Structure 1
Amino acid sequence: MVSTGRPFIAALCAMSACLGGGAAAAWTPAQLMPPGATVTGQTESGLDSYAMPVGGWSRAGIDTVTAEGRLDQQAWRTDTAPASTLDLLAPMRRALQDQGYEVVFECEDTACGGFDFRYGTKVLPEPDMHVDLGDYRYLAARRGTEDAEDLVSLFVSRSPGAGYIQITRLDEAAASEPGSLVASTMSPGDLVSGVKRDTAKMSDIAALIEAQGRVPLDDLAFSTGSYALGPGDYASLSALADWLKAEPSRRVALVGHTDDEGALDTNIALSKRRAASVRDRLVSSYGIEASRLDARGVGYLAPRTANDSDAGRLANRRVEAVRTQ
């Protein structure tokens, strides 16, 4: 049982007043957070695109609104437990509305789509952001004009003794500001706190695929539930591209793998999207013809190790290149 008291709710409700300043005023995520909340994780993607969910999950997928701009995502934790996720979300909703945001979608766990919505949405990994699949809320809001939109989404959940908040913000107007094209210096492997992936020497990729017919691209990292490949150069992709360019008849299948969190069908779909993300990067950044690349996904059916630890799950979230010709 999660317990709380009136002081938590009163302090949280007071924070909307601190934003103030009218519809276009600048604000920071810290101003939105309840008193005592601390940052547990963050990604700054520079200029990026964000497909913000604006509808619950269905068999047809999740309705989204997509925009490009400066994308920032933070996870926060408060050790003062809310009585409910609504107690946590409601004051932040009011604060956004005071800033001129329009709430375009809001849902609660089962109505959102439960597991499928959670893992179809961009969420920072545990332990930075904890999501109880039976106790979470999501909100999407927007402000601005058709030429420059500001998108914000909130994901809140709780555990006994703590509340968790994720805020994702995309500012289209910031895309034209000096320095907005600078991507994060955070490496993909750092997306999973405290876990380091053992990587093979990227110079060995050509030898391995020649000898074994397959090679894991181990400098690519995927958080649980995420299919997007982060910005930056990857030594494995560069080496694989060089190998493909050396002989135009060579072809590979990119095979995505996941950890074992969630249903098999969902993980197969996720792993295929990861493989497709790698294929798209090889085409757009390394000049490989799409006809020479296939993207497949097998979900959690071919693990390299047990999924009973963060390190194991990280090792199993991967894409492998398999020689087909």
Structure 2
Amino acid sequence: MLLLALILPAPMASAQPQRQPAPAGDVAGGRDHPLVGRYQGATLRFYRQRDYEELRLVNRPSLSRDVREQGAQRHERNSIAVAGRATRLRYEGPEGRSALEVLRNHQERLRANGFEIAFECRGADCGTPPDHWSAVVNAVPQPPAHGMTPGWATQSYSFARLARPEGDVFVSILAVDYQSRSNILVDVVEARPMEAGRIVFIDASAMQQSVERTGRVALYGVLFATDSADIQPASRPTLEEIARFLRANATMNVVITGHTDSQGSFEHNLGLSMRRAQSVIASLTREFQIAPARLTPFGAGMASPVASNDNDAGRQQNRRVEIVKR
């Protein structure tokens, strides 16, 4: 049996990892995940990584009733919801190597890295024919650009979990035979631990309680494009709750404070955090008719962290908007 070959060094190595040249045929910008690796001789055909994504990964057989059913319940019976840094990869295996052999090698590597194989299946054991396994890909809300071919009868699948203090890691691997090669779809989600500052929706009532208790409330639902003061559309629910809180406290004046992580210069982050605070105020006054005189913008930059800036999880906590009672 072939052994998995990692392109990146093992994550426990003390030396700084060196980026190796991509193997011939790999998609531009793609790279192996260090906890999963690749089967020797496989080619990376699709790669995408997002800093934060919410996915459902299959952890039980997919039954015909799940395929027919519409809405959220379609996948709740056979998948688990996970959130965090999400990486999707699709490999094309070498000539003559079966999907099962590829999957078994990946499982070997995962176990060596401390993973528990929580669910695995082959062929019809994965669910009810004829559409029993197209749900594996469909359960993950990402576009079908990965290039997997539907309607497999030879699929092998594995769902694994690694428990670790800094956040659990979930891996799903779907391997199918196609002509004389295998296709391998890998999803890796590195969950953010609760203490590391998950993006949390805070409603007006929770804002009220926090301000009454501490005089301030930190919000992670106001999202900006990278290095920009442009508010992203997904921020609207939190902005609506801020407006509701302010209407319920009509005599209260507040400071809208922008906070950044430590990436970039001190002066740049001061300016960026101020522009972000001003953008929030502009939205509250223009879209929700909150009186401008009640709102004072302030940019704290990187000067008031709530977590370490030495890792991604800490930096995510430090990027926030705060409401401070005046």
TM-score interval, normalised by the smaller of the two chains: 0.3 to 0.5
Higher relative contact order (CA 8 A, sep 6+): 1
- TM-score, normalised on structure 2? 0.44
> TM-score w.r.t. structure 1 length?
0.44
